[in-house]
Amino acid sequence: MRTVNFASDRYLERRVAAWCALADLFLDTELQPDDFDRIAATLHGARFGVAEAERILRNEVAPVFVANGLSVAGEWAGWPDEFVQQRVMAHLASSPVPRAWMKFRARIHAGIYKDAWLEVASRLKNMEHDA
């Protein structure tokens, strides 16, 4: 397993906030407008724009949490922040082959989170323009 280093503790805090917010896109529940607003506000507060947030979603969060959307009875209440951080960090530290497979699987099943992401991206884009 490789080590993942982030430039600073503050950057890691921002990244974890994004991971936790984006992980909510994979909950086994119907997200409401307030949920999309909250996720977008978290990403904006962490200073991630639409393009970077989408890269984080596709490469770091979706590979780890897309399986919840494939489950018959997936998690619906949410995950503790520490759990999200540990899972994503483990994914990022894994060897290239398993990491590539998980990213591929997430892309195949992108329909699970595509519409929810578009809702968040639209709100985040509006926040970027208003700032």
Q: What is the DSSP track for 41-101?
A: HHHHHTT--HHHHHHHIIIIIHHHHHHHHHSTT---S---HHHHHHHHHHHHHS-HHHHHH
* pLDDT tens, residue by residue, 88-120: 999 999 888 877 877 877 777 778 889 999 999
CB-based burial of residue 26 (10 Å sphere; 0-12 exposed, 13-18 middle, 19+ buried)? buried
Chain mean position to CA 47:
15
pLDDT value at residue 1: 46
d(CA 54, CA 52): 5
Torsion of CA 75, 76, 79, 84, to 10 degrees: 60
| pTM, two decimal places | 0.86
The phi and psi torsions of 69 (rounded to 5 degrees) equal -75, -15
Average pLDDT, the chain: 87
Point out the residues of the chain with pLDDT beneath 50.
1-2
pLDDT value at residue 68: 75
d(CA 75, CA 69): 9
